[in-house]
A and B are shown apart, each in its own frame.
Chain A
Amino acid sequence: MKFNYHLIMIAFRQLRNRKRQTFLTLLGISVGVMVLITAVSLMDGLLQSFIQKIVEIAPHVIVSGEKVKPTVPDQLVASGNGTHVTFIKNVSRDDQEVIKNYPRVESLIASDSLVQLVSPSVSTDVIGMFGTVSEPIQLFGIIPHVEDGIEKFSQNMVSGNFDELGRTPDGIMLGSTTAKDFTAQVGDRMQIVSPSGRIYSVRVVGIFMTGINDIDDNCYVNIRLGQNIGGFSPDEASNLYIRVKDLPKDTLVAKTIERETNYKAITWEEKAASVVALFKMISGIVYFLVFFVIMVAGFGVANVLITNVLEKARDIAILKSLGFKKSEITWIYLAQGLIVALVGAAVGCLLGYVLIEVMSSIPMASSSASAIRTDRLMMGKSPMYFIGASMFALIVSLIAAVGPSRNAAKVNPVEILRGER
């Protein structure tokens, strides 16, 4: 059927005749679209900035001492007709899993052209003591100038100087959270109790803050001291941190490492998977709630149309007696739903754009001072938010318009014309 201009005119004029109700419905759609756009932008922006930060200051691939697969048969056990082979020791020493002869592994990994940087580290759970406070902390032994290329400590120092760590054999650098717990400051001396019970005296040379809690809990010393405290031999490391040249290739790098060295290598995506999943879940909940805002706007559309159809029953009867077909009557009211949705979505997009701009320019008192490169809310920006929200509003409005429009088409002219007598 031909969608004629006069049908849209009828639809439009009937809406214009009910200015206030139409305006309120339009406002409902606009607010729904605006809230949806803003919510998507906010959630997307948070996730993007989180990932961006992780990628910037966390290792892209972490190699640990865990073996991918034990390749040496451990035992042969006769059973029935054949023999069973076990690869895992059924009695094994509760050793820390370490990368043995790490310099060799390190140079092997570094020879991969995709790898930018390899940084060895040892990690040990120790007790830190300062004044009357003693707390368990995770202590990392690193080669400061190498590790800085991955975790960017020198850019995130709250106090002290990062270079000092490399020059101070008994120096320790505290994460901001730990420093706050101990109330320790640069220059203070504190004690570290190793797993074997020995006490080491160290001097605080710096405090850093990245804004990522996992990292800000940690404390760092030189790798030699770390090996001493943890009871590692000089060629042993707990992890090798790797920064790759081309980020999307990190999975490839991890696979190559596992194949060549037999040590387990995990990527940042795997490590951050739970956090990303959490983000996605929160986004899901937010979208679900916003969905209802637009649903309510849809009820508004249905409301306007139902009122219009009831009030215009006489006009519908006339149009039918003039020879308008059912489908044409249906179109008039579907068009009303469409007009309200289109105008509402357009206004909503405009409001959403303004709101995103305003929100991303409000200064936020950030708790992680230097860590976040910007002190503004990170808002995502993409035309897809606008297209998606508008499409959604359009679909909801159309669905809301279907019922009333079909009722309009069902109006029996004789009943209405008779009723007027």
Chain B
Amino acid sequence: MEDALIRLRNVKKELAIRNGGEEIVTTILPDISFDITRGEFTAITGPSGSGKTTLLYLMGGLDKPNSGSVFLDNEEISAMTEEELAEMRNAKLGFVYQFHFLLPEFTAVENVMMPMLARGRAGVNEARRRAVELLSEMGLADKLNNKPNQLSGGQQQRVAVARALANHPMVLLADEPTGNLDSKSAEVIYRLFARLNEETGQTIVVVTHDEHFASETGRILHILDGQLDSDRKLR
């Protein structure tokens, strides 16, 4: 229990969809609880609409549960204000999305620098040094000053991973990071994640419906209709 980095307790999430005049409330997660331990590489799988992405947003403090609580590093993030959440995301979390979501006006290096520069966490020179280091690790040393539209999909996603890692996050949260990539590029991302987890003990939670990717991780949480269907430890 000591090592539980993320704890979800009786989390319930409803989504209100406005359809014309009436509001339709759909329960996405009726009641879910689980822990994620420090250093774990976890895949959340399940069919579309099962609530796995919502689960990720709840863990990342981008969304709040209707009831129940979410703890990160022994802090209840489900009770934080928006400003506190922003601070927490910047300091403790890194996000990778299905689409690369880089800022189109900025070069690869500048994109990676962004989370470090937010609120003067790091000086420009220091941030640039770390960004170059991270991108080199991602094998993008020759693409530092390319704008996102001058990079391939796989390269863009690697820049996004570098950006997610910029502030040494406690948890790397990834939402279908290979969903938009060809199999070769996807393979590069798998290995990258696996290596990060093995070499630096980076805690990673990745939402995917790619069975192959999931099988490479250390634990698979299978979600079905918002319920925990199975919890398999692979390692």
Contacts and interface: CB of A to CB of B under 8 A. Distances in A.
B87 A323 contact: yes
B2 interface: no
Q: Which of A318, A319, A418 has the most CB of B within 10 A?
A: A318
B114 A6 contact: yes
B99 interface: yes
Interface string B95-122: 1011101111110001001110111100
B124 A328 contact: no
A5 B93 CA distance: 23
B62 A321 contact: yes
A7 to B, nearest CB: 9
Interface stretch (A10-18, A160-168, A271-279): A10-18
Contacts of A5: 117, 124
Interface in B102-158: 102-106, 110, 113-115, 117-120, 124
A4 interface: yes
B219 interface: no
Interface in B141-195: 163, 175
B95 A321 contact: yes
**Which among B60, B93, B101, B104 has the greatest number of chain A C-beta atoms within 10 A?**
B101
Interface in A288-330: 314-315, 318-326, 328
A325 B86 contact: yes
Interface in B1-52: none
A10 B110 CA distance: 10
Contact of A17 (B91, B98, B105, B110): B105
B111 to A, nearest CB: 9
A17 B104 CA distance: 9
Given A17-B105, A323-B87, A323-B115, A420 B124 contact: no
A93 interface: no
Nearest to A317: B101
A421 B62 contact: no
Contacts, number: 81
B118 A328 contact: yes
A323 B88 CA distance: 7
A181 B119 CA distance: 80
B57 interface: yes
B78 interface: no
Contacts of B82: 326
Interface residues of B, number: 35
Interface string A1-30: 110111001100110110000000000000
A45 interface: no
Given A2-B119, A323-B90, A315 B103 contact: yes
Contacts of A320: 62, 86
A414 B63 contact: yes
A420 B118 contact: no
Given A323-B86, A323-B90, A420-B99, A2 B118 contact: no
A4 B60 CA distance: 25
B119 A328 contact: yes
Contacts of A13: 105-106
Interface residues of A, number: 29
B101 A314 contact: yes
Contacts of B62: 320-321, 413-414, 417
Contact of A418 (B53, B89, B103): B53
Contacts of B86: 320, 323-326
A4 B98 CA distance: 29
B83 interface: yes
Classify the secondary structure of B's interface with A.
helix
Interface string B188-214: 000000000000000000000000000
Nearest to A6: B117
A420 B114 contact: no
Contacts of B90: 322-324
Contacts of B57: 414, 417
Nearest to B103: A315
Contacts of B110: 9
Contacts of B98: 420-421
Contacts of A414: 57, 62-63
Contacts of A318: 101-103
Contacts of A325: 83, 86-87, 119
Q: Which of B83, B95, B103, B104 has the most CB of A within 10 A?
A: B103
Nearest to A13: B105
B120 A322 contact: no
Contacts of A14: 105
Nearest to B121: A323
B161 to A, nearest CB: 13
Contacts of B89: 321-323
A324 B105 contact: no
Given A320-B86, A321-B60, A414-B63, A16 B118 contact: no
Given A13-B106, A321-B60, A417 B124 contact: no
A9 B60 CA distance: 27
Contacts of A321: 60, 62, 89, 95
B156 to A, nearest CB: 13
A16 B63 CA distance: 33
Given A4-B117, A4-B118, 11 more contacts: A5-B117, A6-B114, A314-B101, A318-B103, A320-B86, A321-B60, A323-B87, A324-B90, A326-B82, A417-B97, A420-B98
12 contacts: A6-B114, A9-B110, A17-B104, A315-B104, A321-B89, A321-B95, A322-B163, A323-B118, A325-B119, A326-B86, A414-B57, A414-B63
Interface of B: 53, 57, 60, 62-63, 82-83, 86-91, 93, 95, 97-99, 101-106, 110, 113-115, 117-120, 124, 163, 175
Interface of A: 1-2, 4-6, 9-10, 13-14, 16-17, 314-315, 318-326, 328, 413-414, 417-418, 420-421
